[in-house]
Structure 1
């Protein structure tokens, strides 16, 4: 079986600083894979490297066994979509929801905009009443639902999720996570998800990689994380420091 995502010895350097140090991982089609660790551990940098937004200094990135290098072509950009952490910063304040959803369709030359916009809004639980609202007229949870709809509208097979609920209230977090879970099941999507919240990762991810200082510490299954069956002292400290961690 082809891996949906395969990273081999990936390094990223910003102005002499090694943000990623020879990281490797493989994510299977339809799997939800988590990246956890403290701020600055390299989690988001890894996502950005896959999306073509970080300066790769070494190693390889493969999507479905196709090598990625340099600027991403339109086919890759369509198949791999990213949902960012900040629902306030990811939407243009002067664009309606309709415009935000139409724009990627125009860029990729997709004609059936009306059908796709209606379906995307329904899929994220917003409905047509939100179509011509502006971001300031939406709650944080509603804005993140629009961001998810925008990612889904191109019908990707892979979603890169960078702390997609960390800026939301706890009750809204659960709603958005359940939505993402349902979307993955319905569309058979592959997720690569960054989170600092181990409870979220236990709920959402089949496997996870613990990262520290730009490198892998260890890779665990959901069951190992839930049972706290870890081998690295750093992971044990991360578990101990994680407020509200509950066994699945």
Structure 2
């Protein structure tokens, strides 16, 4: 498989002087086309900042990011957002509360000049398991799981190659989390998508990802395959501590 996303010695620093925070410290990894790659670690480990750096929401202090072999420009151009979309952690905050679902889904199509708006909106809703009846509802009329399905539909509506998933189920009830993860899994296979998934939950990463990188204090700790994770074959103490702390993680 060819490399689709390549991160080389990525560093992200916020602030200056005594208030300087090194959020990401010389992190490198590659993601193959069609792969699901996980970034895992505790809150503050820098994993979400890596995603934000990829999509242009966090400043890159040093290092390089390549997608399809091309170095990313700052600011990102419209073609980038046709190729790469992000699903945020909080479905309550990522969708405008006063916009109908129809408007939420039609705006990216208008921005990128798509004409077949009607068909694309209906297809996007269908792909995430929502009926046409949801089109003209407002976010407060939807459950948390339904809102996150809308957020996924909005990300998919431009037919991207890559989805950046920032804790996509952590704000949802446990009973709904598995449904959304299974949906994401099915969509990746069906559409040949590439995922970079951030989570603090090793059970989620084990379910979704073939490979993962463990992060701590902005730095890479180690990289593991799914099988190594399930066999508890971690080489670093911090990863073993995460395994112990991750309630509900089962070796299957």
Same fold (TM over 0.5): yes
How many angstroms apart in 2 are the aligned matches of 1:2 and 1:207?
15
Could you tell me how far apart the structure 1 residues matched to 2:6 and 2:221 are? 18
**How many aligned positions are there?**
248
Q: Is contact 1:100–1:150 with CA below 8 Å preserved after alignment?
A: yes
Residue 60 of structure 1, CA deviation: 0.1
Deviations 1:73-108 (A, max 9, x none): 111111100000000001101000000000000010
In 2, the alpha carbon distance for the partners of 1:89 and 1:167 equals: 11
Match of 1:7 in 2: 7
Tell me what 1:144 maps to: 148
Cα deviation for residue 69 of structure 1 reads 2.9
Distance 1:33 1:192 in 2: 5
Q: 80, 83, 87: which is aligned to 1:83?
A: 87
The residue matched to 1:56 in structure 2 has which SS?
A: coil
- Structure 1 residue aligned with 2:139, among 132, 135, 142? 135
Give, in whole Å, the separation in 2 of the partners of 1:194 and 1:58: 21
| Residues 19 and 214 in structure 1, CA contact (< 8 A), matched pair in contact too | yes
Q: Deviations over 1:9-45 (max 9, x none)?
A: 0000000211000000000000000000000000000
The equivalent of 2:46 in structure 1 is: 42
Runs (5+) with no aligned partner, structure 1 = none
* Offset of residue 171 of structure 1: 1.1
Distance 1:2 1:246 in 2: 31
- The match for 1:178 is 182
2: CA distance, partners of 1:155 / 1:127: 20
Using structure 1 for the length normalisation, give the TM-score: 0.99
Matched residue, 2:117 = 113
How far apart, CA to CA, are the structure 2 residues paired with 1:54 and 1:108? 23
The structural deviation recorded for 1:210 is 0.2
What SS is found at the alignment partner of 2:145?
A: helix
Output the CA distance in 1 between the equivalents of 2:2 and 2:152: 26
Counterpart residue number, 2:231: 227
Unaligned runs of 5+ in 2: none
Does structure 2 conserve the Cα–Cα contact (< 8 Å) formed by 1:2 and 1:65?
A: no
